[in-house]
Amino acid sequence: MYSDLFGDVLESLKETHREFDDRLVECPPVNISTCSTVGYNGYRWATQIDPYWNAYFLGLVLSLGSKIEGARVGDEFVYSYRYSPDYSKGSLFNSDINWRKFQADSLELVKADPAINYVVTCDIADFYTRIYHHRLENALDRIDTQKTISSKIKKLIQTFSGTNSYGLPVGGPASRILAELALDSLDHILLINGVRYKRYVDDFLLFCETKEGAHSVLTFISRKLMENEGLTLQKHKTNILSKDEFASLAQSKLFGLDEDEGSPVKARFMSLPIKFDPYSQNSTEQYEEVKKSLQDFDLLGMLSSELQKSKIDQAFGRQLVRSFAAADDNVLSSAFNVIFNSIAELYPIFSTVIQVATTNWSRFDVETKELVRKKLVELIKANSFILKTELNLSYVVKLLAKENNVESQTVLIEIYNSNTSSMLITLVVTQAMVKWNTHYWLSDLKRTFPTMPPWQRRLFIVASYLLGDEGKHWMTHNKNKFNFIDALYRDWGADRKSRNDLEAAL
């Protein structure tokens, strides 16, 4: 919608900036928050902000982005989300300063400096969800002395978190920039106190000469985190390592040498930057570049070896699954036959598997498509633990939506009826039904419009243009009930309908 009605959306955002308080009352943001799996037994909270308010929130933060970046400590100490926008590429952060460089530079430092004998590894517990608003607000006011922007950012953050006085939405560039600002004071405190350290988001590496010094600096950072930010370190992730122990750990993270230590093939594979987005402007060039880098690897053999382990190497598994997107179609299909016959063993990387399958669905052969659909339906019917997280289930819905048939419609309706309290599931199922133009279901759904959550409500407004005279009558009857965001979706639906390509846009 934003690209189709760019001018209208821009004017609406400007109006929101002028009439901020009134618009926040008229249509407050309603966000989708859910758990995503992390590894075999962990979970992480994820939030998707209301798209309209997310655009406005991001615009506010970006207007302060250069000032925030200018106040931060150097990128030889902090490697996360260094603000360096390149709007021609659609990127906001310096891609050369990243987690991999954080690990590689730390490894190089430890090997090269004889004064470093111990390394403290630690990270902050529940970092994004525990960021204290008051401290962040003070930091914003120091950046924006006029408080014209910071006051709006503060009010949005408070709205996103409900009644809590802490927490940022997890995910999204605006939250990432603000999270870095929240730790900036601690970064400066560590430097002026002579602590040798490197940081990536909430992961710290503290470099020490003696074990006593390591305990001392760990006490110092723990105290400053609690006193200044109200944050604590994760106990089970806090360790004091010898130089050799840290070097071994860093090498395993960089090259995946845990169970396969000494495997040069795996190390070389893990070092490849596999970044392939089939929807990007230069997707063909990306594909050819990644494909060329993979030509010396037996991807199917590597997959078979990994599945023989009692527990998969999750980083390696994700890298391997993504690499199949750049393989030949027959290799891709063969790989996903193997993957879905072992899908229960791959549950720590289930979301990656489903996302790659969805993106490359048209490249699968008929037999692979049938197998994938069969295995997913079996998981649904068995009420599998894999699909207990809304995020995993939503990915499955999106994949099943690739094929419009009676079985898919039946399965998705069952999912919808079993998850009426989930905003995420109701949204993705409705999106599938709208894309398929499932008239009977949409016609019946319109009765629930007054009680629909905001995201589904906007989608149904667009869908009404697929209902012919019934939809036209419904629109006439309900248009006076639309808020300013609803009206944007109404206009977008009308524009797409006039061009006869509404279904393609959904």
pLDDT in tens, the chain (506 residues): 788 889 999 999 999 999 999 999 999 998 887 777 777 777 777 778 899 999 999 999 999 999 999 999 999 999 999 999 998 888 999 999 999 999 999 999 999 999 999 999 999 998 988 899 989 999 999 999 888 999 999 999 999 887 778 888 887 899 999 999 999 999 999 999 999 999 999 999 999 999 999 999 999 999 999 998 889 999 888 999 999 999 988 887 777 554 444 466 776 777 676 665 554 555 566 667 777 778 778 889 989 988 888 888 888 888 899 999 888 899 999 999 999 999 988 889 999 999 999 999 999 999 999 999 999 999 999 999 999 999 999 999 999 999 999 999 999 999 999 998 899 999 999 999 998 989 999 999 989 999 999 999 999 999 999 888 999 999 999 988 899 999 999 999 988 888 887 777 77
pLDDT value of position 491: 92
Q: Which residues contact 281 (CB under 8 A, 6 or more apart)?
A: none
Q: Which two tokens stand for residue 220?
A: 């110092």
Compute CA distances 41 → 37, 38, 252, 386, 462, whole Å: 8, 7, 21, 11, 40
Rounded to 10°, the helix 390-400/406-418 angle is 160
Biggest alpha carbon–alpha carbon distance for the chain: 79
Round to whole Å and give the CA distance between 486 and 468.
20
Q: Are 64 and 144 in contact (CB under 8 A)?
A: yes
pLDDT value of position 83: 97
Round to whole Å and give the CA distance between 478 and 467.
15
Round to whole Å and give the CA distance between 219 and 213.
10
C-alpha dihedral sign at 461, 462, 467, 470: positive
C-alpha dihedral sign at 121, 74, 94, 145: positive
pLDDT value of position 502: 78
Q: How many Cβ atoms from other residues are within 10 Å of residue 352's Cβ? A: 18
pLDDT value of position 37: 75
Q: Which two tokens stand for residue 376?
A: 């997913």
The helix/strand/coil state of 198 is strand
In what helix (H) or strand (E) does residue 482 lie, and over which residues does it extend?
Answer: none
Q: Name beta bridge partners: 200.
A: 203
Whole-angstrom Cα Rg for the chain: 25
Q: Which two tokens stand for residue 193?
A: 């106190």
pLDDT value of position 261: 46
In what helix (H) or strand (E) does residue 481 lie, and over which residues does it extend?
Answer: none
